[in-house]
Each structure stands twice: as structure tokens, then as C-alpha cells.
């Protein structure tokens, strides 16, 4: 009798232990699917409702169904602080769709809910490594996708992928997510189940490039105006449709040509982007990739700038070197979560300071004085000349 009890307990423990990882994976896939459905609503709604009236009844009904499915999936996810706010934002979205609000309002709400969901359940919305050129996955695209979407994305039995306006409503992550076998709500599993995460990111870039094939790159200045969009995670998570027209056009081109963009990014901005990725990997419990990203940030972002910084501001350089060291030992050692997060934040704020220190001194003052001096001397010269002539 007693033994039976013990065996039962042991079996239960075993079951719990083996069930835990599968459950975590399932949760991530549920969250990714729900996020995918929400971003679909954001992209499609404007085709279903115009000026407060439904213009495409089947599409409108599909969106309501999609929203309900997303809500059901969310109910399958564990409770977390912030989840009540998420559910409220989805209910608000439901209300907005029922009231046939404008396309823009529904799009904003749906995208905001998708982003909140991704944050709350710590979905990795940015690739672990640099994005490859569009040409890398071009052969894979021809083999797997062209039959339905056309060799140049012009569309066949599947929709065109060259529609600029529609593609602008997806982030690169949304495109990646469309190919995630766990989240894909439009393709059969056999289509993408065997693709690695790396291949899916590469395909997302290939797809993103189709809408901007043959177009000119944005002016080089744009990289300075929108530094967050030339690096990760911004390039992967921002949706062009939510940006100003200039920034949207630039992002559309940049994300289709990631290899051409790398040179535009300030190394310290790259370091910051990689540290953000490292931090989110750490928060998701993936210490190995957190460490890997941190080393990349140091090597590709900070070290190329270190000498210049030491010349400009030696104490700041010394302080930053200590902060890199502190973060490294915090991740590798047994520091508490809060300590590691604090080390990330200190390092990132130091790097932001370094960026301002490395900026060239403002030239405008100097140029202003030169122009004034020049004007004064011209006027003086003219006066002298006039006086001479009168004599």
C-alpha cells in the first residue's frame, strides 16, 4: 500500500519533469501563433471595412474569427504580470472591429497587442546573428515558394509579395513568423516544417527585397536620422506602415539589403543593438546566446572605437572597460537576475555617453562666424572703395 503510493508519486514527478520543456515550447508556439494572427488582422482589416461599413463580408468575418482564435490561444498561456493589460487591449481591439472603426485605428491596436504579447512571452523577434543578403535564400525561394508566389514575387496561385503597401504593414519578424511551422496559419506544415530559424530569417529578407527590387537606396543621411532602423532589433521589429513616409521608405529598402546597411551603422549603435539582443536572450533564460551576443557587441561595436574614445576621454574609456568586464562576469558567474540586468543597463548608458563624446564638435558655430566676418569685410571693402571714388 505504502509502496504503491511512493511509486505513484515517483511516476508523477517523472511525468512533470519530462512534460515541462515540451510545455514551454508549446507556449512559445501558441504565443507566436497568436501574435501572427494579430499582425494579420492589422494587415487585412483595411480591405474589409471602409468608412464605417463592411465592404468584404467574408474577410470581415474571418478577422473576427482570427481574433477569437488569438484570444483562445492567449487563454492557454500562463498568467503573468501585464497579462490583464494585454487581454484588455485585445478586448478593445475586438470592440474596435465590432464598431467598424477606421483601418488605421484597428491596425495600430492590433499591432500594439501583437507587440505586447511578444514582449510578455519573450518571443525572440530578432535573429541571433546578422541578417544575410537577399541573394542567400534566393535559390531556396525559387525551389519552395516561386510556384505559388511567382519567380519575382508577382503572385500566382498565392498572393503577390511585391505589393509595396501590403508588405509595409509587416515587420521582418512578421514575415519570418509567417514561415514558422509553429505559428504559420496560412501554409501547410510540410511547406516550412523542416526550415531552420536561420533559413526562415534569410527567406524573410528575400521576401522583403521583392517589393523594392530595382529601386534606389535611400540617401545616406537617412541612416543618421533613423539610427534604430539600420540595426537589429529595430530593423526586424519595426513595421514601415507605422513610421513617417521617409523612414518607411528607408526601412523598406534597408531590410531588403541588410548587407549594404551594415556599413552605415555607427559601431557603438551596433554594440547597443547587440546588447539589447543579449539582454532579451538573457531574460528568456538563454545564457549561452546572451554571452555570444555580448562578445559580438564588444568585438564588432566597441573595440573598433576604443582608441578614439581613449583619446577623447580616458576616464570614460576606463570606466567602460570595467563595465564590460562586470557584465561578462555577471553572465558567466552566479550573479542574480537583477544584478545582470543592472550590469546591462549600466554598460548601455555608458555607451550612449561615449557616443555623444565621440561626436565631432558642432561645426555650425564656426561656420556662422566665418560667414559673418566675410560679410563684414565685403561691406567694409565696398565702403572704402566708394569713399575713394568720391575723392
Residues in contact with ligand HEC by CB under 6 A are: 144-145, 147-149, 157-159, 161, 166, 175, 178-179, 186-187, 191-192, 203, 207
Burial class (CB in 10 A: 0-12, 13-18, 19+), 102: middle
Instruction: Give whichever of 158 and 182 is closer to ligand HEC, judged by the CB atom.
Output: 158
Instruction: Compute the least distance from the CB of residue 209 to ligand HEC, in Å.
Output: 12
Nearer to ligand HEC, 161 or 327 (CB): 161
Q: Which residues contact 57 (CB under 8 A, 6 or more apart)?
A: none
Shortest gap between Cβ of 144 and ligand HEC (angstroms)?
A: 4
Q: Which residue is nearest to ligand HEC (CB)?
A: 145
Least distance in angstroms from the C-beta of 188 to ligand HEC: 7
Closest CA to 200 of 160, 233, 236: 236
Half-sphere exposure of residue 144: CA atoms within 13 angstroms, side-chain side:
20
State the nearest-atom distance from the C-beta of 186 to ligand HEC, in Å: 4
Nearer Cβ to ligand HEC (153/273): 153
The nearer residue to ligand HEC, 118 or 309, going by C-beta atoms, is: 118
What is the C-alpha separation between 354 and 177, in angstroms, rounded? Answer: 36
Of the candidates 134, 121, 114, 145, the residue with the CA atom closest to the CA atom of residue 239: 114
Residue positions counted in the chain? 391
Question: How near is the Cβ of 176 to ligand HEC at its closest, in Å?
Answer: 9
Residue 134 or 331 having the CB closest to ligand HEC: 134
Residue 166 or 306: which CB sits closer to ligand HEC?
166
Q: How far is the CB of 283 from ligand HEC (least distance, A)?
A: 28
**Closest distance between ligand HEC and the C-beta of residue 354, in Å?**
39
Q: How far is the CB of 99 from ligand HEC (least distance, A)?
A: 25
Spatial separation of the C-alpha atoms in residues 264 and 221, rounded to whole Å: 9
Q: How far apart are CA 179 and CA 130, in angstroms?
A: 19
Nearer to ligand HEC, 170 or 282 (CB): 170
What is the nearest approach in angstroms of ligand HEC to the Cβ of residue 113? Answer: 18
CB nearer to ligand HEC: pick between 11 and 186: 186
CB of 237 to ligand HEC, least distance (A): 16
C-alpha 292: how far from chain center: 19
Read off the C-alpha cell for 360: 565631432
CB of 18 or CB of 157, closer to ligand HEC: 157
Of 49 and 264, nearer to ligand HEC (C-beta) is 49
Amino acid at each position: 500500500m505504502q509502496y504503491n503510493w511512493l511509486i505513484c508519486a515517483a511516476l508523477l514527478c517523472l511525468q512533470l519533469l519530462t512534460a515541462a520543456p515540451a510545455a514551454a515550447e508549446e507556449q512559445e508556439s501558441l504565443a507566436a501563433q497568436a501574435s501572427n494572427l494579430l499582425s494579420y488582422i492589422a494587415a487585412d482589416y483595411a480591405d474589409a471595412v471602409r468608412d464605417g461599413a463592411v465592404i468584404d463580408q467574408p474577410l470581415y468575418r474571418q478577422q473576427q474569427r482570427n481574433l477569437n482564435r488569438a484570444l483562445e490561444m492567449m487563454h492557454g498561456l500562463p498568467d503573468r504580470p501585464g497579462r490583464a493589460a494585454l487581454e484588455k487591449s485585445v478586448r478593445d481591439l475586438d470592440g474596435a472591429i465590432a464598431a467598424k472603426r477606421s483601418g488605421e485605428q484597428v491596425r495600430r491596436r492590433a499591432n500594439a497587442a501583437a507587440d505586447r504579447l511578444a514582449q510578455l512571452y519573450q518571443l525572440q523577434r530578432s535573429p541571433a546573428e546578422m541578417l544575410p543578403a537577399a541573394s542567400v535564400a534566393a535559390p531556396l525561394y525559387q525551389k519552395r515558394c516561386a510556384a505559388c508566389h511567382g519567380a519575382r514575387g508577382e503572385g500566382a496561385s498565392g498572393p503577390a509579395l511585391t505589393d509595396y503597401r501590403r508588405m509595409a504593414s509587416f515587420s521582418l519578424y512578421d514575415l519570418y513568423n509567417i514561415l514558422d511551422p509553429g505559428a504559420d496559419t496560412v501554409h501547410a506544415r510540410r511547406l516550412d516544417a523542416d526550415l531552420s530559424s536561420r533559413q526562415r530569417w534569410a527567406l524573410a529578407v528575400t521576401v522583403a527585397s521583392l517589393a523594392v527590387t530595382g529601386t534606389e537606396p535611400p540617401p545616406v543621411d537617412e541612416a543618421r536620422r533613423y539610427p534604430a532602423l539600420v540595426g537589429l532589433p529595430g530593423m526586424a521589429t519595426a513595421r514601415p506602415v507605422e513610421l513617417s513616409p521617409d523612414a518607411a521608405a528607408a526601412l523598406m529598402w534597408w531590410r531588403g539589403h541588410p548587407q549594404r546597411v551594415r556599413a552605415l551603422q555607427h559601431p557603438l549603435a551596433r554594440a547597443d543593438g547587440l546588447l539589447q539582443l543579449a539582454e532579451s536572450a538573457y531574460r528568456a533564460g538563454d545564457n549561452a546566446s546572451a554571452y555570444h551576443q555580448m562578445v559580438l557587441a564588444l568585438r564588432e561595436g566597441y573595440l573598433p572605437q576604443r582608441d578614439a574614445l581613449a583619446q577623447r576621454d580616458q576616464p570614460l574609456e576606463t570606466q567602460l572597460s570595467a563595465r564590460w568586464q562586470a557584465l561578462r562576469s555577471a553572465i558567466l558567474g552566479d550573479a542574480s537576475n537583477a544584478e545582470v540586468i543592472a550590469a546591462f543597463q549600466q554598460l548601455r548608458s555608458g555607451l550612449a555617453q561615449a557616443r555623444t563624446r565621440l561626436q565631432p564638435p558642432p561645426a555650425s558655430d564656426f561656420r556662422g562666424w566665418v560667414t559673418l566676418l566675410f560679410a563684414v569685410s565685403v561691406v567694409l571693402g565696398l565702403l572704402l572703395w566708394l569713399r575713394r571714388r568720391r575723392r
